[in-house]
């Protein structure tokens, strides 16, 4: 049997102990571990089995090695990375040659992990098309650490360039042949500024999560999508996420998932929301990690769950994060501070969203469905707004013209008339939106508050 990797766990439920092992060997390999692996959309080069674009210039300066500097955003010492030795000149570069025009229509955010021995500059360039090349400079402000860089090429989405070029210390001759490490070069969609996951459609499903501090489950990749165990007025979704906490784990046992695009919070509403179901009350932690361009992690941000055996929407305050900071990983800890003693504990979560935006079950690159108009009265209104409720509506949201949600009302879903108190709103025009149990937009209307 061929294998590429061996992991050995020594008493993973014990606090301490001494174990011995010896003579672990492997015979000659006869199978290519990458044989039959299908290319994943967007990945340029992960230096493992997703090496999907040929390297032209710079190939002689690049070697694939096991990660020699594990830690931070790239902690696996067995992961393959690219080792690039920068020659003694100003414009040597690593060039990915597609041989045809790149399709950047939907995926136009270049993401790359780089470990640099010095603080310096990078230059990312698209070239080889019928129009002028596109160049974007980036500063390396942190040395001797893995940093994820995000380069926005959305303005070049409709050009026909054929090559992606990465310059290290562009425009100057280095004092020595510096060695850089590169990993996970890929094209991603534009930043997520609303729904992160609703587990209903592939574009909004974070399928694979990784447990940490979780005894026998520690380090395991978990497929979390399951049927909603207890649909109610707060969450009628068919599918939700499942969190399992193992006996013998840490009180901070949790799980994390990497998002398909970076998450960015609006400067005036740095919050996230998530629906939670647990069989007991307790604090739930969400963390923003995997900061892009050196953005600091959020640390533990807690919100109290206080309605056992019912769905509740929790809000997490990230106001301490820098403006426009982007993150590529979301981490969850359910009921931090306690651990199960006799049986594994199961909790559920759903509708992770930025800034309270609804998790509409619509494809990421598909237009929103056509919706009906709602009858509201009076219009203009002073303190109360009466709404003729369409069939199957479960949630109303009032938003300003910037798209910010100011008020939310959850209802039972029976057709009729609903009254909404708008006395706290300032004078102006607002948008009223209505959603069904799956979070789909089904109706909307505008009204004026006097």
- The string of pLDDT tens digits covering residues 237-270 is 889 999 999 999 999 999 999 998 889 988 889 9
Verify that 204 and 347 share a domain, yes or no. yes
* Cβ atoms 189, 153 nearer than 8 A: no
* Cβ atoms 244, 253 nearer than 8 A: no
CA distance 224 to 311: 17
Q: Of 188, 204, 228, which one is at a domain's C-terminal end? A: 188
Verify that 258 and 297 share a domain, yes or no. yes
Tell me the CATH number at 51: 2.60.120.260
- Report the number of distinct structural domains present in the chain: 3
- The answer to whether position 58 is within a domain reads yes
Q: Of 188, 205, 237, which one is at a domain's C-terminal end? A: 188
Verify that 162 and 242 share a domain, yes or no. no
Token duo for residue 221: 């990749």
Token duo for residue 306: 């206080």
- The answer to whether position 30 is within a domain reads no
- pLDDT by 10s per residue, the chain, length 450: 566 677 787 766 666 778 888 877 776 666 778 888 888 888 999 999 999 999 999 999 999 999 999 998 898 898 999 999 999 888 999 999 999 999 998 789 999 999 999 999 999 999 999 999 999 999 998 999 999 998 999 888 888 999 999 999 988 888 888 999 999 999 988 888 889 999 987 778 887 899 999 998 888 777 789 999 998 888 888 899 999 999 999 999 999 999 988 899 888 899 999 999 999 999 999 999 999 878 899 999 999 999 999 999 999 999 999 998 999 999 999 999 999 988 999 999 999 999 888 886 544 334 444 567 788 888 888 888 888 877 778 788 887 765 567 788 877 666 678 888 988 888 888 888 887 766 677 788 888 888
Verify that 51 and 90 share a domain, yes or no. yes
Verify that 205 and 182 share a domain, yes or no. no
* Cβ atoms 197, 260 nearer than 8 A: no
Verify that 203 and 178 share a domain, yes or no. no
The number of CA neighbours under 13 Å toward the Cβ of 98 is 18
Q: Of 150, 166, 188, which one is at a domain's C-terminal end? A: 188
Verify that 147 and 183 share a domain, yes or no. yes
- The answer to whether position 25 is within a domain reads no
Report the predicted TM-score, pTM, of the whole model to 2 decimal places: 0.57
Token duo for residue 369: 């469905």
Among candidate residues 324, 313, 314, 312, the one with its CA nearest the CA of residue 269: 324
Domain assignment of residue 92, given as a range: 43-188
Verify that 227 and 314 share a domain, yes or no. yes
End-to-end CA distance of the chain: 75
Verify that 212 and 345 share a domain, yes or no. yes
- The answer to whether position 171 is within a domain reads yes
The number of residues making up the chain comes to: 450
CA distance 31 to 34: 9
- The answer to whether position 251 is within a domain reads yes
| Strand pairing class (395-399; 428-435) | antiparallel
Verify that 181 and 109 share a domain, yes or no. yes
220, with CB counted inside 10 A (0-12, 13-18, 19+), is middle
Tell me the CATH number at 417: 2.60.40.10
- The answer to whether position 359 is within a domain reads no
- The answer to whether position 148 is within a domain reads yes
- 428-439: pLDDT as tens digits: 888 888 877 666
CA distance 317 to 326: 16
CA distance 242 to 222: 9
């Amino acid at each position: 049997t061929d294998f590429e990797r061996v992991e050995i766990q020594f008493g993973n439920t014990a606090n301490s102990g001494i174990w011995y092992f010896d003579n672990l060997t492997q015979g000659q390999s006869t199978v290519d571990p990458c044989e039959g692996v299908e290319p994943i959309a967007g990945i340029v080069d992960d230096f493992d089995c997703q090496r999907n674009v040929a390297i032209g210039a710079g190939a002689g300066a690049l070697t694939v090695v096991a990660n020699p500097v594990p830690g931070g955003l790239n902690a696996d010492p067995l992961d393959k990375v690219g080792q690039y030795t920068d020659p003694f000149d100003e414009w040597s570069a690593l060039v990915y040659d597609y041989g045809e025009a790149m399709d950047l229509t939907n995926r136009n955010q270049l993401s790359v992990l780089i470990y640099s021995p010095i603080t310096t500059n990078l230059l990312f360039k698209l070239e080889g098309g019928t129009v002028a090349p596109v160049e974007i400079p980036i500063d390396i402000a942190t040395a001797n650490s893995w940093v994820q860089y995000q380069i926005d090429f959305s303005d070049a989405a409709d050009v026909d360039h054929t090559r992606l070029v990465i310059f290290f210390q562009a425009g100057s001759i280095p004092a020595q042949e510096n060695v850089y490490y590169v990993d996970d070069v890929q094209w991603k969609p534009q930043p997520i500024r609303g729904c992160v996951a609703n587990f209903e459609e592939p574009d909004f499903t974070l399928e694979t999560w990784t447990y940490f501090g979780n005894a026998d489950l520690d380090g395991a990749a978990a497929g979390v999508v399951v049927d909603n165990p207890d649909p109610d007025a707060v969450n009628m979704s068919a599918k939700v996420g499942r969190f399992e906490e193992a006996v013998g784990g840490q009180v901070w046992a949790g799980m994390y998932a990497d998002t398909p695009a970076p998450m960015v919070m609006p400067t005036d509403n740095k919050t996230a929301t998530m629906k939670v179901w647990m069989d007991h009350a307790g604090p739930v932690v969400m963390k923003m990690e995997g900061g892009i361009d050196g953005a600091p992690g959020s640390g533990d941000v807690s919100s109290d769950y206080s309605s056992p055996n019912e769905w509740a929407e929790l809000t997490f305050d990230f106001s301490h994060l820098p403006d426009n900071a982007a993150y590529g990983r979301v981490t969850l800890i359910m009921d931090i501070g306690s651990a199960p003693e006799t049986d594994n504990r199961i909790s559920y979560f759903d509708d992770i969203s930025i800034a309270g935006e609804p998790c509409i079950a619509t494809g990421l690159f598909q237009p929103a469905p056509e919706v009906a108009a709602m009858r509201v009265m009076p219009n203009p209104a002073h303190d109360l707004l009466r709404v003729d409720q369409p069939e199957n509506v479960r949630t109303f949201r009032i938003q300003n013209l910037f798209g910010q949600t100011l008020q939310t009302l959850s209802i039972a879903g029976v057709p009729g008339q609903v009254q909404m108190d708008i006395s706290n709103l300032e004078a102006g025009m607002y948008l009223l939106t209505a959603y069904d149990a799956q979070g789909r937009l089904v109706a909307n209307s505008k009204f004026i508050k006097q």
